[in-house]
Amino acid sequence: MTGYDECASLIEKKKIPFIERLRHAVEIKSVSNDPAARKEVCRMIDWTQKELEKLGTKCEQIKNGKQKLQNGEEIDLPPVLFGTLGNDKSKKTLLVYGHLDVQPADKSDGWNTDPFKLIEIDGKLYGRGSTDDKGPVMAWINAIEVMQELKMDIPINIKFVLEGMEESGSEGLDEILMKHKDSFLSDVDFTCISDNYWLGKTKPCITYGLRGICYYCVEVKVCKQDLHSGVFGGTVHDGMSDLCWILSQLTEVDGTIKINGLKEMVAPVTDEERALYEKIDFDINEYKNDIKVEKLTTEDKVKVLMNRWRFPSLSVHGVEGAFSGPGAKTVIPCKVKGKFSIRIVEGMEPEAVDKCVTDHLNNLWSQRKSPNHFSVHPLQGSLAWVADYNHPHYQAGAAAIRKVYGVEPDYTREGCSIPVTLTFQELTQKNVMLLPIGACDDMAHSQNEKINVSNYIEGTKVLAAYLMELGKL
Amino acid sequence: MTGYDECASLIEKKKIPFIERLRHAVEIKSVSNDPAARKEVCRMIDWTQKELEKLGTKCEQIKNGKQKLQNGEEIDLPPVLFGTLGNDKSKKTLLVYGHLDVQPADKSDGWNTDPFKLIEIDGKLYGRGSTDDKGPVMAWINAIEVMQELKMDIPINIKFVLEGMEESGSEGLDEILMKHKDSFLSDVDFTCISDNYWLGKTKPCITYGLRGICYYCVEVKVCKQDLHSGVFGGTVHDGMSDLCWILSQLTEVDGTIKINGLKEMVAPVTDEERALYEKIDFDINEYKNDIKVEKLTTEDKVKVLMNRWRFPSLSVHGVEGAFSGPGAKTVIPCKVKGKFSIRIVEGMEPEAVDKCVTDHLNNLWSQRKSPNHFSVHPLQGSLAWVADYNHPHYQAGAAAIRKVYGVEPDYTREGCSIPVTLTFQELTQKNVMLLPIGACDDMAHSQNEKINVSNYIEGTKVLAAYLMELGKL
């Protein structure tokens, strides 16, 4: 009987066509936060549907709602792609989630190569979406294709949910999934998501927790239109100064959040939890060296990991409406919008966080005594997620990793948010697992995003092995 | 003998071709701060040269140096256009300065019309450069064209200096002018510059003072590339928080500058000066209503005018390197650059201001105790300028205004910087006058820049009348 070894061997042989598949995916500029690129997101979904249909997957594009743009215009959200491969009542059903959209990228941001071409350099495949999340989605297609070519039985029914708005808050997805709770989702036994990364560069892991996120826009409005700083400077109240002051009052220098009421919400760390963190293979110096940072907010391994996964953090992302180009423009911006977000953890409800943040900001503003106009806009909020990593589903994932890599995976969390994880857990009431394929230095969301050829190919093997293991449950 | 009245009458008759001339100028996208638009700046210079040559002006394009871009690349600066019309040793010589480049503009910034089309609505000509400074340059060409058509004697030799980098610090211009101090500039008797605006919307003025400017870039560097705030948030020191804190420590809420040593530099206001300000026709409520600001930093007429012209002001313009688009991007920017500038007045030397600012910022940074990397970069500096408005040259300007508008002009200053004003005064050692044509609500540097048709046409008459008056000196 054909088994894992034949499968792994064929995956190795098909390395080139598998890279070509990813190349095709990366070349589609499916940037979800750019309304002008919406057609490319849809084209990416169409193309993926065709790839899935070649495997025999029955696909359906579920129409999504409208997106209201800042200028008031409304455009269609991209559809969500549902796929069903296998409908054997004697088998259990796995739900696979992935996303086909990407973060914005432009060579001028500091990329060494064209972000929308897949370029192989030293065993690394550079390109926007290579690791987040086109690579992992292609690995699923690769794994199934190989098992089918070898005429192996896939011991589980597979359902796919692939979306095109993940990098923009998965707009519309929850509503669609809720509507399909008692139909498409009703027979799901496990959910597997490959949309995160190993903790390090060499050791695989399985992920059982995620932080949530609350994202805010703080607006300061000075006047009706931008003013020349020479002509008007000195007579109007500077909006950027107001905004900078507000944004500077959110954290201490070391990142400690100064917003009243948030700390009290955080679930206390148990001794058992702390012991788990102490076992994790994580090198602070390597972490620092990778991002070229000399000093972290803490230099203790457990604290660094907990700051990434277990405690809230606040980041100021930027300012919309002010001068943002190179050189020297002498403008007083009429309206500036500061953007920041808080990564939230278990115990923190987005609504309660929104209230604390809004109260804090309004209180700050009343202290500021500026006659400019101020408003706070929560843009999105999603809960943190934690699963039981002792569940048999996690053990199937761990067995697959042992088969491919010969090591026991670390059990990790992620500091970022994949809101759909929680949705799947709530709607299916079944175990959800994150099975990362890429490495920690893949630089998702950043310049020079990449996936290692080895991670892409071994990851394809892990997914095949995992499908085989699921047959044993 | 043909006189002012015939001239004014022909100017009225030629309104349509004069507007067409300005339309052609506005359609050339001569944005000087965009290296990609450099060719358009040169095209604007070429086109203006041809217009001047039609009047019999002898033109020469003076080669400028190289501009070093932020990416290290070097590109040619646009040439400076010198023109000579008349070379009669018995006549005095007037130098006319103007600039042919414009500020950036994009419809998406909030323009109601395409910024690079001249659109007439309700007697207003909208378009980038309509008032700053293409309209005034075209008015000079119009005035001379009309006097020539009427075969009138132009009682003064005219020299032109027209540049293409004014909106980007007039890079290279000073060097070129210095080189021509003893040749092209040696016989100049007066300099006239039309590159500013009336104080109000109805009463003309002549301008005898300008603030200078010191522009700064403050850089905070966190790490080698942008990071995902979910993956890294909580472990690195937030660079935007550092930058916002620094930028919030420059002024009080009411705009008072907190940088030690600057206040002491400002030349004291004399009683005579204060009396001059009290006479000026200026309506605070109209000013507030025009820009839709409810409360100014002061509500006293003299103080408002002095805050605009006579005292330094600080404006924070924006941040380069952070997220600046619409929507929600979860990035920790690796390197952010805050941009701010100080408008400086008589008594303040840019080098001394740079030292105070740099000391203040470095002192703030040492208090901040952040391990991120910090640096201050002064980007440009230019002195303030003040002239003697009792000079006969100013009286010629005033006489021209009386002829066209029937009123005595106000003697005003401007809060903005036109560094070349000072250069001309220093190199020619002769009187320099600013003779504004546009109105206060023309919104130079802003969305929906315009010049009133009436200002453009009456301004052409003022320039013609001024040329006639100069013959009497």
When CB atoms are compared, the residue of A322, A379, A416 closest to B228 is A416
* Residue range B194-225, pLDDT digits in tens: 999 999 899 999 999 999 999 999 999 999 98
- Check residue B343 and give its pLDDT: 97
Quick check: B331 and A222 in contact, CB under 8 A?
no
- Check residue A71 and give its pLDDT: 85
- Report DSSP letters for A208-267, one per residue: EEE-EEEEEEEEEE-SSS-EEHHHHTTTS--HHHHHHHHHTTSB-TT--B--TTSGGGSP
Question: Please, which residues bridge with residue B98 across strands?
Answer: B162
* Residue range A111-161, pLDDT digits in tens: 999 999 999 999 999 999 999 999 999 999 999 999 999 999 999 999 999
- Check residue A445 and give its pLDDT: 85
- Check residue B194 and give its pLDDT: 94
Query: Is B101 one of the annotated active-site residues of the chain?
Result: yes
Measured CA to CA, the distance from residue B62 to residue B87 in angstroms comes to 20
CB contact under 8 A, A237 and B226: no
A313: chain B residues, CB-CB within 8 Å: 229, 233-235
Computed over every residue of chain A, the mean pLDDT equals 95
Res. A275: pLDDT tops 70:
yes
Q: Calculate how close chain B gets to A23, using CA atoms only, in Å.
A: 23
- Locate the domains of chain A by residue range: 4-210+385-470, 212-266+311-382
Residue A226: pLDDT band with limits 50, 70, 90: very high
Q: Calculate how close chain B gets to A110, using CA atoms only, in Å.
A: 8
A326: chain B residues, CB-CB within 8 Å: 70, 320
Query: Mutating which of B250, B284, B315 best tests the A interface, going by the most A Cβ atoms within 10 A?
Result: B315
Phi-psi region of B83 (alpha: psi -120 to 50; beta: other; left: phi over 0): beta
Quick check: A6 and A150 in contact, CB under 8 A?
yes
| CATH architecture observed for domain A4-210+385-470 | 3-Layer(aba) Sandwich (3.40)
* Residue range A330-352, pLDDT digits in tens: 999 999 999 999 999 999 999 99
Measured CA to CA, the distance from residue B56 to residue B40 in angstroms comes to 24
Res. A243: pLDDT tops 90:
yes
Q: Calculate how close chain A gets to B298, using CA atoms only, in Å.
A: 7
Amino acid letter, A121:
I
CB contact under 8 A, B248 and A251: no
How, if at all, do strands A66-68 and A58-62 pair?
unpaired
Query: CA of A197: which chain B residue's CA is closest?
Result: B231
Q: Which one of B101, B219, B238, B441 is the catalytic residue?
A: B101
- Report DSSP letters for B301-336, one per residue: HHHHHHHHHTS-EEEEEEEESSB-SSS---EE-SEE
- Check residue B304 and give its pLDDT: 97
Res. A2: pLDDT tops 80:
no
Listed as ranges, residues in chain B with pLDDT below 70 are 1
CB contact under 8 A, B70 and A448: no
CA torsion, points B443, B447, B448, B449, in degrees to nearest 10? 40
Distances (CA, A) of A296 to A127, A282, B16, B364: 28, 14, 67, 21
Q: Calculate how close chain A gets to B187, using CA atoms only, in Å.
A: 32
Measured CA to CA, the distance from residue A404 to residue A402 in angstroms comes to 6
Measured CA to CA, the distance from residue B180 to residue B427 in angstroms comes to 9
Res. A70: pLDDT tops 90:
no
> Coil, strand or helix: which one is B431?
strand
Query: How many CB atoms lie under 10 A from the CB of residue A10?
Result: 18
Q: What percent of chain A has pLDDT over 90?
A: 90
Query: CA of B253: which chain A residue's CA is closest?
Result: A370
- Check residue A109 and give its pLDDT: 86
CB contact under 8 A, B229 and A341: yes
Query: CA of B440: which chain A residue's CA is closest?
Result: A231
Read off the tokens for A106.
Answer: 């432009």
Average pLDDT in the A241-263 region?
97
Average pLDDT in the A178-195 region?
97
Write out the binding residues of A for substrate.
195, 228, 330, 343, 417, 445
> Coil, strand or helix: which one is B41?
helix
Read off the tokens for B122.
Answer: 């309700």
How, if at all, do strands B119-121 and B431-434 pair?
unpaired
Residue A322: pLDDT band with limits 50, 70, 90: very high
**Cβ-proximal residues to A398 (8 Å cutoff; 6+ apart), any chain:** A206, A408, A409
> Coil, strand or helix: which one is A207?
strand
Measured CA to CA, the distance from residue B232 to residue B223 in angstroms comes to 11
CB contact under 8 A, A297 and B255: no
DSSP state of B369: T
Q: Which residues of B370-405 are buried (b: 16+ CB within 10 A; e: fewer)?
A: bbbebebebebbbbbbbbebebebbebbbbbbbbbe
Quick check: B18 and B142 in contact, CB under 8 A?
yes
- Check residue A1 and give its pLDDT: 58
Query: Mutating which of A101, A227, A253 best tests the B interface, going by the most B Cβ atoms within 10 A?
Result: A253
| Cis amide linkage into residue B5, ω under 30° from 0 | no
Q: Which one of B163, B166, B238, B449 is the catalytic residue?
A: B166
Q: Calculate how close chain B gets to A354, using CA atoms only, in Å.
A: 16
CB contact under 8 A, A238 and B251: yes
Quick check: B84 and B157 in contact, CB under 8 A?
yes
Quick check: B287 and A236 in contact, CB under 8 A?
no
Question: Please, which residues bridge with residue A336 across strands?
Answer: A220
- In this structure, which topology does domain B4-210+386-470 adopt according to CATH? Aminopeptidase (3.40.630)
**Cβ-proximal residues to A324 (8 Å cutoff; 6+ apart), any chain:** A318, B318, B319, B320, B322, B324
Q: Among 3.30.70.360, 3.30.420.40, 3.40.50.11030, 3.90.1170.50, name the CATH number for the domain at A212-266+311-382.
A: 3.30.70.360
Q: Which residues of B333-347 are buried (b: 16+ CB within 10 A; e: fewer)?
A: bbbbbbbbbbbbbee
CB contact under 8 A, B318 and A323: yes
When CB atoms are compared, the residue of B215, B317, B444 closest to A240 is B317
- Check residue B1 and give its pLDDT: 58
End-to-end CA distance of chain A: 20
- Check residue A108 and give its pLDDT: 86
Measured CA to CA, the distance from residue A278 to residue B389 in angstroms comes to 78
